[in-house]
Structure 1
Amino acid sequence: MRVRTVPTAVAAVLATGLAALSGCSSGGSGGSGGGPPAALLALPADLDAEAVAGGKQPAFEPSDVHLAVGRTFGMDVRVAPLPHGWRLVDPGDTGPLRRDADSKQSTCAPNTAGCGHTVRQSWTATAAGSTTLTWRYVDFASCKEVQNPASCRTLASKEVRVTVG
């Protein structure tokens, strides 16, 4: 029973994450020391991305994140066994940001049909500057190169502009 409620709860959190996508500031706790990120966003839910791809809602507006050097930024990405999904296609400039290790935020029992999990992609601000990170919601069946999401047909995209300083 619990296995079925976890993905539903994650989907609800991601769906409501659209309101948080307007941006975060570097206020609050969270540095590179294992605490919560100073800025945390979630990519739009699959159903929202499908609506954008189908022309049923406008494209996702870019988000702005402002960080002090040493603070972290996290993006929660839902990974599900679907024919479509979010992939980071432009990791931005490595001058102001350092990519940290991804961490699983939720998991599914093995062989659970339609179950996905959430992965937090993280970066640490290392120097003053700005860069843009870009995720695309892609059609995996259209990929010309399996390991290259930029070779897939884009259904929707989301940009996050990060300013460090």
Structure 2
Amino acid sequence: MRGRTVPTAVAAALAVGLAALTGCSSDGTGGSGGGHPAALLALPADLDAEAVAGGKQPAFEPGEVRLAVGRTLGMDVRVAPLPHGWRLVDGGDTALLRRDADSKQSTCAPNTAGCGHTVRQSWTATAAGSTTLTWRYVDFATCTEPQNPASCRTLASKEVRVTVG
């Protein structure tokens, strides 16, 4: 009997530890909001996007993410003072994904030439279905409407299909 108790206790401790590492709660829904996202992605680096724009490498393959309702997707976007940069042009179906507030993940010292920072764009899944998020790597000098990235010349793009359910 005692030999069975120890392995059971060890298995229970491992299950609790695994749940803590993966961020899953006992009901399998995990957290949302201010905690760690269920899915975390990053847009390709500026140099990679410029290589795509210059025809030096193939276009970026679309990504795919699966989320449970209530879980969060985070996309890290590098923001640098360059003539080119990533901009969200399609935030997906708002009936399926709620756009949360952006949060800075890194910062630069004031007045640091050429320094950028990382911003995390986040969405929380609110209903079952599928939608696509689209970012474009644009040339800011070509924008006909400064606040509208769709009005700029696209150098590269990245799509992420989000399936909720």
TM-score by length of 2: 0.82
Corresponding residue for residue 38 of structure 1: 38
* Gap runs ≥5 in structure 1: 1-26
Corresponding residue for residue 71 of structure 2: 71
Q: Offset at 1:145?
A: 0.3
2: CA distance between counterparts of 1:33 and 1:147? 27
Q: Offset at 1:152?
A: 0.1
SS in 2 for 1:75: strand
Is 1:50 the counterpart of 2:46 in the alignment?
A: no
TM-score by length of 1: 0.82
SS in 1 for 2:141: helix
Corresponding residue for residue 142 of structure 2: 142
Q: Offset at 1:34?
A: 1.9
Is 1:102 the counterpart of 2:96 in the alignment?
A: no
Q: Offset at 1:137?
A: 0.1
Partner amino acid for 1:96?
L
Partner amino acid for 2:137?
Y
**Residues 76 and 119 in structure 2, CA contact (< 8 A), matched pair in contact too:** yes
Size of the aligned set, in residue pairs, is 139
**Residues 69 and 125 in structure 2, CA contact (< 8 A), matched pair in contact too:** yes
Is 1:28 the counterpart of 2:22 in the alignment?
A: yes
Identity %: 90
Query: Runs (4+) of structure 1 moved beyond 4 Å?
Result: none
> Which of these two proteins has the greater Rg computed from alpha carbons?
2
